Chain A
Amino acid sequence: DAGVTQSPTHLIKTRGQQVTLRCSPKSGHDTVSWYQQALGQGPQFIFQYYEEEERQRGNFPDRFSGHQFPNYSSELNVNALLLGDSALYLCASSYVGGRNTEAFFGQGTRLTVV
């Protein structure tokens, strides 16, 4: 049983560019959350998708957007990249809406903006 898979694992982009990160949730999970983890910090909630809708959003600008597909996989898009967007981007999946259930994290995508 595959866990949460993310692609790519590493990415280098230039300031101002756009990036798309992908996540496949653990089998049986219907909810996907995205987190940004800066070096030495805890993960920061970006948003959560359930039933193909953004259900809750953290304190991130509109440059961060996402999508969930009918097969529950998800994408995170970041436009107009800034140097400060360099971080580990983590996808977490959970079951039945995501409350009171553990979150399974993927290995993350390490994004470097130069």
Chain B
Amino acid sequence: GQQVMQIPQYQHVQEGEDFTTYCNSSTTLSNIQWYKQRPGGHPVFLIQLVKSGEVKKQKRLTFQFGEAKKNSSLHITATQTTDVGTYFCAGLNSGYALNFGKGTSLLVTP
């Protein structure tokens, strides 16, 4: 079945540094979604990418979908303490199930 891998598993940065997490799928995806989960919280939708090579920005966050629709990345510019949490990618193939990666936990030190 489809597997979604995310790296790194953990990232510890100083406030103001950049952060990137990468997501790779074993199969071609219909779309990919990104979620953020704060400690003790629930996943919150950030964005959905559908088109090959798509790039979307949300303020300091930049999301990319690979040309082959098998990989994606999330880049945060100039991290802030409010960015702390676990970032998950979730791929959708031909069915209805979102296949989540294990997530990248981001810790930001002031």
Contact = CB atoms under 8 A, between A and B. Distances in A.
Contact of A99 (B41, B90, B96): B96
A30 to B, nearest CB: 13
Interface residues of A, number: 28
Interface string A51-75: 0000110110000000000000000
A56 B95 contact: yes
20 contacts: A31-B96, A33-B97, A33-B98, A41-B102, A42-B4, A42-B6, A42-B100, A42-B101, A43-B90, A45-B100, A56-B95, A56-B97, A58-B97, A97-B96, A99-B30, A100-B31, A100-B92, A104-B45, A105-B42, A105-B43
Interface of B: 1, 4, 6, 30-31, 33, 35, 41-45, 48, 50, 88, 90, 92, 95-103
